[in-house]
Each structure stands twice: as C-alpha cells, then as structure tokens.
Amino acid sequence: KDTPVVQNALSVIQQTLELKNLTELNVDCEQFRHLKEKQTTTLKKFFCDSCKKEIIGQLDWNVHLSSAKHKRIVSRLKRHENLEAYIEQKREEKRKAKRNKAVEGEARGQDEDNANSPIVAGEGD
C-alpha cells in the first residue's frame, strides 16, 4: 500500500523526471541541491582510455578516477606495458646477438677461406 511518504516520494520523482524546477515542489529543496548541482556538471563528457568507458560529468569523472576498479585496470595496463617493453628488449638483445654471431661467423669463414686457399706465386706481391 502506498503511504503518504511513498506517494510524496513518487510525486517528487515524477516531477523531477519531468524536469520541473525543484523550487516549485512542496519539499525541502536543500535535500535535492546536490542533484541540481550535479545536473549542471553533466555537460562535459570524459573518456577513460584505460577502462574504455565514457563518463559524463566532472563529479562522476573524479569518482571514476578514484575508484578501485579504475586503479586496478591502470595498474594491470602498466604491468602489461612494462612486460611488453621487457619482452621487446629481450627480443632485440637476441637479434643483436644473432647479428653479432653471423658477423663473427662470416669473419671466421673468411679467415678459414684465406687459410685454406692455396698460395699462388706472384699473388699478393
């Protein structure tokens, strides 16, 4: 059963949804001042690249940035980026080692070719 309190609350909600001015309502406007203030801050949109979420309003943006979920995602992304950088560094070190080995092998091969080549009279004189 709807009590007078529930009926009053439903009336306030209905009138608020219809975007009527809160001062016209027969309620204490101080209770709803934060809602009105929040409405004025919802003009700006933010996008969190880490969480892939659009946030509307400065207040909600600040709440999002300080949330545990956002911080956990950012932390995970940083670890992932550090891991990717570490893996790439190790790959580059392997590529350099391979190139150095190849260069050393070529140098040894040339030395062996020179050592195994017959000396022909008049050559190199």
C-alpha span between 113 and 107 (Å, rounded): 10
pLDDT of residue 64: 93
b/e per residue, 106-121, with b = 16+ CB within 10 A?
A: eeeeeeeeeeeeeeee
C-alpha span between 84 and 95 (Å, rounded): 16
C-alpha span between 75 and 50 (Å, rounded): 10
For 55, other C-beta atoms within 10 Å of its C-beta total 19
3-class secondary-structure state, position 42: coil
Is residue 116 scored above 70 in pLDDT?
no
Kindly report, residue by residue over 75-107, the tens digit of the pLDDT: 999 988 888 888 999 999 999 998 888 888 777
Structure-derived torsion over alpha carbons of residues 101, 105, 111, 112, reported in degrees to the nearest 10: 150
Kindly report, residue by residue over 39-50, the tens digit of the pLDDT: 554 468 999 999
